[in-house]
A and B are shown apart, each in its own frame.
Chain A
Amino acid sequence: MTLSTFLAHQWHSFWRARNANKSLVLQIVLGIFYLLIFLEIAGLGIFLPLIIKESLPGKDPVVLFCSYIIYYFLVGLLFRFQLQELPSLSIQPYLTQNIKRSSMLRFLNMRSLIHVINILPLFVFIPFSVVEILPIYGTVATLCFLISMFALVVNNHFLNMYIKRKSISSSWWFFSIVIAIAILKAFDYFKILSFETTSSNLFVGLLHNPWLCIIPLAMAVITFRLNNNYLRSHLYIEELVSQRKMKVSTNYAFLDKYGDVGEMIALDLKLIFRNKRPKSLVILSGVILLYGFIFYPRYLQTGNFTMLFLFALFITGLFISNYGQFLFAWQSSHFDGMMSYNINMKQYIKAKFLLFVTVCSLQFLIASFYGFMGWHILPIQLAAFLYSIGVNSFVTIYAATYNYKYLNLSKSASMNFQGIGALQWLQSLLISFGPVGVFYLLNKFVGFWPAILVISSLGIVGLAFNEIIINWLVGQFNTRKHKILEGFRER
């Protein structure tokens, strides 16, 4: 059993996954999407020197670049905590086969190295080194510099793996590193101790004395050995996955008085908080709340209300499209049960609608603080909020009745396109750019207030007739119920 056989199996498992998107169009779209990201990042590497010369004339791009390397790796470690998973379970089927432990270890280590987060940095480091470092410092120094960078990536990688394997929760590490970065940055800012200078001294020093690259190499080897030794002595499935905490039963008392509907909302909330993929999507909707700080001032200044409206839609309503695109699919693993428990379908759909209303109202209330930036934001956000819960919520529920794909809740959400079809792309375009188009036209040709009024009334009409719309949605759901069930059973 060689490493290449293991990797070939992984390759098959990726492409032959039941829910791997078989549609060619979507694969092409995703392919182009990834290619663009890679090109953009490689472009960053090439044009970085130019950008530095343009915006900070008189500074040496190499020195400046080097001064941020340590920060880069610290921040990189933070991202790794969030994005990287331990690829432990993939060896389960091999544990009882006639395979040497050492080759299994090799596989585990190599498999974990194949990750976007390890490959992307190279797209910055290589072009930058070729363009900027090679002409000045020569081939040997450039090569050694690249080797050091690669070694540091590997070092970061195995350090993260080691920490994750050793400790039950990496959040303690996460926050310690956040605080460490903040303190270092503060030292730099108040000129107490320049960490940036230290960083540039270190790496420019490395360029002058290329043999120093053995230090990062040694670091990479040490973390690799640490990891490897730990794995060797813990090659048991229950020890490889991170340890479990005691789970407690919870009860949302405030939902008790809403009967079955309340019970189902509680069920959805537990689904969100206890499963990786929905949790990260919802955290994302929370992070989007901060977008206002970045985008609102800019568009307030230029008086671009259409763009303000677009971001208001995201800020108040992103939860609907994020959670709603898989509205039923979240429950796909127990949908057989959901359809045979004593649940009235109307209450089931209504619970979904009320979940949207509750979460969006919360987001709207928090976002109202942006009103301090300028009063225009308040009516714009109100219109966006009303439209989100009065129109987009129903559109999303309707679209969800066409989603027949099983969803695995325990996989992380980043770069995970399982269960996403052409319909989901179309839907997210429709529910964000539809109303924005209407707003733009009205705002341009009629006026600001009519635009606000029309968008808000659309939402209010939807809310007023929610009973009728929900009844209709129940009918739509029932006509496709068996198809949804069948799709969810295909794992």
Chain B
Amino acid sequence: MISIKNLKKTYKGIDAVDIAALEIYAGEVIGLVGNNGAGKTTFFRLLLDLIRANSGEILSKGHLVTVTEEWKSYTAAYIDEGFLIDYLTPEEYFYFVGKLNQLSKADVDDFLQSYQVFFDDAILKKGKYIRDFSKGNQFKIGIIAALLTKPELLILDEPFANLDPTTQLRLVAMIKQLAADHRMCIIVSSHDINHVSEVSSRILLMEKGKIIKDIAGGEAAYDEMVDYFKVKEL
């Protein structure tokens, strides 16, 4: 799905992202972990061609993301509020994103119907623009809009951080199901090592731009992360 070679992005002489080689396959759920400043968000922006790398290349299904635009048709992402058109109502926003992906209004309505539980009655028909919603609800809107397009590659930046506990657990279940049912490739970054080890089939641990651990998800990964993140000395 994604193939990365010698990718490097530096800010003021410091490596923000420095990945020699990385392959990501369809059906994988990648958990990206690392402390603040490890380069997770920068990596996501590089994947979406939102910033220019200093060197190296990213191939999505064999095509350079910097040159072609095809990746947009099967990639969806939610990184921050910068992805929401905040003067639209949530419905208008969903229809807009749907239309860009050849989904009719009825398709979008059907889809929203099936995710009603996730919304918890807090999003639809509220008579508010997106800018007037709370941060957590904005996040829900962003995640649902990303799922709406039935992408093959889904990128979510710290989705658990802004959600309430119930929705966090729902999201964990959703991600697992999407990867299993649709062979969707999902990349999630998180500070919550509990959720991330549960949801991921593979965990990448970043430190100062480099991927220093590439391990399979599950209990063992959780222990390894606890070991890495624990406070070394006090």
Point out residues on A near B: beta carbons under 8 Å.
Answer: 244, 246-251, 260, 263, 267, 270-271, 274-275, 331, 333-337, 339-345, 409, 482, 485-486, 489
Q: Known: A342-B101, A485-B50, A485-B51. Contact between A337 and B87, CB under 8 A?
A: no
Q: Which residue of B lies closest to A274 (CB)?
A: B87
Known: A333-B82, A336-B45. 10 other contacts (CB 8 A): A247-B89, A275-B87, A334-B83, A334-B85, A335-B82, A336-B48, A337-B84, A341-B100, A486-B51, A489-B82
Are B48 and A339 neighbours in the complex by a CB distance under 8 Å?
Answer: yes
Task: Decide if B129 is an interface residue (CB 8 Å cutoff).
Answer: yes
Are B87 and A343 neighbours in the complex by a CB distance under 8 Å?
Answer: no
8 Å CB contact of B100 from A247, A271, A343:
A343
Q: Chain A residues with Cβ under 8 A from B109's Cβ?
A: none
Q: Which residue of B lies closest to A331 (CB)?
A: B85
Q: Known: A246-B127, A250-B92, A342-B101. Contact between A271 and B87, CB under 8 A?
A: yes
Q: Known: A249-B89, A342-B100, A344-B69. Contact between A482 and B51, CB under 8 A?
A: yes
Q: Chain B residues with Cβ under 8 A from A274's Cβ?
A: 87, 129
Q: Chain A residues with Cβ under 8 A from B72's Cβ?
A: 340-343
8 Å CB contact of B75 from A246, A249, A336, A340:
A340
Q: Chain A residues with Cβ under 8 A from B85's Cβ?
A: 267, 331, 334, 337
8 Å CB contact of B92 from A244, A249, A409, A486:
A249
Q: Which residue of B lies closest to A340 (CB)?
A: B48
Q: Chain A residues with Cβ under 8 A from B49's Cβ?
A: 339-340
Q: Which of A270, A339, A340: most chain B CB closer than 10 A?
A: A340
Nearest-CB distance from B158 to chain A (Å)?
15
Q: Chain A residues with Cβ under 8 A from B48's Cβ?
A: 336, 339-340
The binding surface of chain A is classed by DSSP as: helix
Task: Decide if B224 is an interface residue (CB 8 Å cutoff).
Answer: no
Q: Chain A residues with Cβ under 8 A from B45's Cβ?
A: 336
A409 to B128, CA, bound (A): 17
Q: Which residue of A lies closest to B73 (CB)?
A: A342
Q: Which residue of B lies closest to A491 (CB)?
A: B82
Nearest-CB distance from A107 to chain B (Å)?
26
Are B132 and A333 neighbours in the complex by a CB distance under 8 Å?
Answer: no
Q: Which of B125-174 contact A (CB under 8 A)?
A: 127-129, 132, 149
Contact flags B59-84 to A (C-beta < 8 A → 1, else 0):
00000000001001101010111111
Task: Decide if B214 is an interface residue (CB 8 Å cutoff).
Answer: no
Q: Chain B residues with Cβ under 8 A from A343's Cβ?
A: 72, 100
Task: Decide if B88 is an interface residue (CB 8 Å cutoff).
Answer: yes
Q: Chain B residues with Cβ under 8 A from A485's Cβ?
A: 50-51
Nearest-CB distance from B108 to chain A (Å)?
12
A246 to B69, CA, bound (A): 38
Nearest-CB distance from A105 to chain B (Å)?
27
A334 to B97, CA, bound (A): 13
Counting from the closest, the 9 A-B pairs by CB-CB distance are A337-B83, A336-B82, A246-B127, A482-B52, A274-B87, A342-B72, A340-B48, A249-B89, A342-B100
Q: Which residue of A lies closest to B48 (CB)?
A: A340
Q: Chain B residues with Cβ under 8 A from A247's Cβ?
A: 89, 127-129, 132
A249 to B101, CA, bound (A): 20
Q: Which residue of A lies closest to B88 (CB)?
A: A270
Are B82 and A334 neighbours in the complex by a CB distance under 8 Å?
Answer: yes
Q: Which residue of B lies closest to A260 (CB)?
A: B100
Q: Which of A249, A335, A339: most chain B CB closer than 10 A?
A: A249
8 Å CB contact of A248 from B82, B100, B127:
B127
Q: Known: A263-B100, A334-B83. Contact between A340 and B92, CB under 8 A?
A: no
Q: Which of B128, B129, B149: most chain A CB closer than 10 A?
A: B129
A260 to B149, CA, bound (A): 15
Are A341 and B50 neighbours in the complex by a CB distance under 8 Å?
Answer: no
Q: Chain A residues with Cβ under 8 A from B182's Cβ?
A: none
A468 to B100, CA, bound (A): 24
A331 to B86, CA, bound (A): 10
A263 to B96, CA, bound (A): 7
Nearest-CB distance from A202 to chain B (Å)?
47
A248 to B128, CA, bound (A): 8
Q: Which residue of B lies closest to A250 (CB)?
A: B92
Q: Known: A249-B91, A249-B92, A345-B69. Contact between A340 and B100, CB under 8 A?
A: no
